[in-house]
C-alpha cells in the first residue's frame, strides 16, 4: 500500500504541475559537471554522527524475528525484533512476537538466510520472551545501569519496522516520561519508559538505547488515536529496571521452574475525581490485605515507595512481587495517610 501511494502521488504531481517542458521550445543544455563531495562514506575525515555510531555498534546485536503463527483466527506470520543476550545464542524479544508460534526464525542484518530458533520461555504478563539459536561468537548488547535513565535523555530506537526489506529502521527522540503503566491484551505493563522516538509494528522486541549504545528498554507498544482521543509520538518501552530481573525469571522458567505471582486479595477501581491512586472496592476475607488492615474505600497511593497512578499499576506491582514478600503499602483513608505492611501469598488460578 505504501508503494502504491507513492506511485499515485507521483502521477498526480506530474499531471498537476507544469514541469517546464513546452512543445517546440529550445533550451540551452549546460555542459558544466555537477559538483559532488570529495568525501566518501568511509572517509575518516567525514565523521559520523553519534546516532550513526550507536547504530553501527549495535548492528550485529539486533535481529529480525519471524514467527509462523496459528491461533483461533487462522494462520499467519508475525514479525518483530530481538536483541542478542549471550554469545551462544540467547535472544530477548516481546512475548507477543512469538505468541502461538509454531516455528520461529531469526535473521541478522547482512545475512540472507534465517536461522531456526527455539522458544525457551515466555512471560505474557510482562510481554517478554527468551528464545535461542544455535550459534557461537555473537555480540551481546550492553544494558544501561538500572536507575540511570532520566526524562529528557536522547534515545535511539532500532527495529525492523513494518517488516521492510533491508536492514533495521532507526529513529531518534527523547525519554518523554518514566514509570508509565498501560493495559494490553495480556494485562498491565508497569515501569515503562515513554518516548517520542518513532515506534511502529515490527519494532516490538527491539532496543531503545542511549547515546552510549546501552539498551535502556525493550520496545513494546505505541499509542494510537481512536474515536475519543488523539495520540502523537507516544511509544512505550519496558525499562531496564524491569527487564534485568525478568531475564533471570525467564531463565528459571526455561530450566523448568514455575513463575509464582504475588496475591493481595482486593478488588479495585480507578479514581474518577482526577486524583492519583487505586480505590479498594472489596477485600477478601483472610487475605493478605485483610490481615494487613486494608479496608474497602481505601485509596492505595504507593507500594514499596513506588507511586500507584491507577488500578493497573497496583495490579502489576503486586503481580511482580514474590509470594512471601512483605510490601509496604501507603493508603489514603478519610483524608489520613496510613502506611501498612502486607505479606503476599501465591496467586492461584481459582
- Active-site positions read 96, 127, 204
d(CA 178, CA 253): 28
Closest residue by Cα to residue 181 from 2, 316, 83, 323: 316
Question: Residue 24 corresponds to which cell in the numbers above?
Answer: 517546440
Cα dihedral sign for 262, 268, 272, 273? negative
Angle (CA) 149 316 198, round 5°: 45
- With CA atoms as reference, report the closest residue to 295 among 267, 323, 256, 255: 267
**Residue tagged 526455561 (cell numbers):** 254
CB-based contacts of 93: which residues, under 8 Å, 6+ apart?
Answer: 65, 80, 81, 82, 83, 128, 129, 131, 204, 205, 218
Task: Write out the three cell numbers for 174.
Answer: 527523547
As a whole number of angstroms, the distance between CA 196 and CA 199 comes to 8
CA distances from 270 to 280, 307, 308 (A): 9, 14, 11
Amino acid at each position: 500500500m505504501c508503494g502504491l501511494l507513492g506511485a499515485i502521488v507521483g502521477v498526480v504531481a506530474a499531471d498537476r504541475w507544469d514541469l517546464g517542458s513546452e512543445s517546440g521550445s529550445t533550451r540551452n543544455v549546460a555542459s558544466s559537471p555537477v559538483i559532488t563531495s570529495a568525501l566518501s562514506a568511509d572517509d575518516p575525515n567525514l565523521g559520523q554522527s553519534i546516532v550513526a555510531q550507536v547504530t553501527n555498534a549495535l548492528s550485529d546485536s539486533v535481529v529480525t524475528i519471524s514467527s509462523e503463527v496459528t491461533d483461533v483466527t487462522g494462520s499467519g506470520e508475525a514479525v518483530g525484533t530481538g536483541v542478542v543476550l549471550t554469545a551462544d545464542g540467547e535472544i530477548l524479544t516481546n512475548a507477543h512476537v512469538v505468541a502461538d508460534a509454531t516455528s520461529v526464525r531469526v535473521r541478522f542484518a547482512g545475512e540472507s538466510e534465517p536461522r531456526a530458533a527455539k522458544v525457551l520461555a515466555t512471560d505474557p504478563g510482562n510481554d517478554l520472551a527468551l528464545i535461542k539459536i544455535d550459534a557461537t561468537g555473537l555480540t551481546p548488547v550492553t544494558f544501561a545501569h538500572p536507575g540511570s535513565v532520566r526524562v529528557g535523555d536522547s534515545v535511539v530506537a532500532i527495529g525492523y519496522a513494518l517488516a521492510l526489506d533491508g536492514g533495521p529502521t532507526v529513529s531518534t527522540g527523547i525519554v518523554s516520561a518514566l514509570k508509565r503503566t498501560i493495559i494490553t491484551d495480556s494485562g498491565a505493563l508497569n515501569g515503562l519508559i515513554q518516548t517520542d522516538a518513532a515506534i511502529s509494528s515490527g519494532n516490538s522486541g527491539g532496543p531503545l538505547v542511549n547515546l552510549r549504545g546501552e539498551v535502556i528498554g525493550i520496545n513494546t507498544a505505541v499509542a494510537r488515536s481512536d474515536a475519543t482521543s488523539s495520540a502523537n509520538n507516544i511509544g512505550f518501552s519496558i525499562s531496564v529496571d524491569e527487564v534485568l530481573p525478568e531475564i533471570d525469571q525467564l531463565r528459571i522458567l526455561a530450566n523448568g521452574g514455575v513463575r509464582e505471582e504475588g496475591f493481595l486479595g482486593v478488588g479495585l477501581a480507578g479514581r474518577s475525581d482526577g486524583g492519583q491512586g487505586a480505590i479498594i472496592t472489596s477485600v477478601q476475607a483472610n487475605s493478605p490485605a485483610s490481615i494487613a488492615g486494608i479496608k474497602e474505600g481505601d485509596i492505595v497511593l504507593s507500594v514499596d515507595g513506588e507511586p500507584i497512578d491507577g488500578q493497573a499499576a497496583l495490579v502489576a506491582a503486586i503481580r511482580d512481587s514474590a509470594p512471601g514478600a512483605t510490601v509496604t503499602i501507603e493508603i489514603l483513608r478519610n483524608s489520613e495517610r496510613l502506611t501498612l505492611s502486607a505479606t503476599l501469598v501465591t496467586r492461584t488460578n481459582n
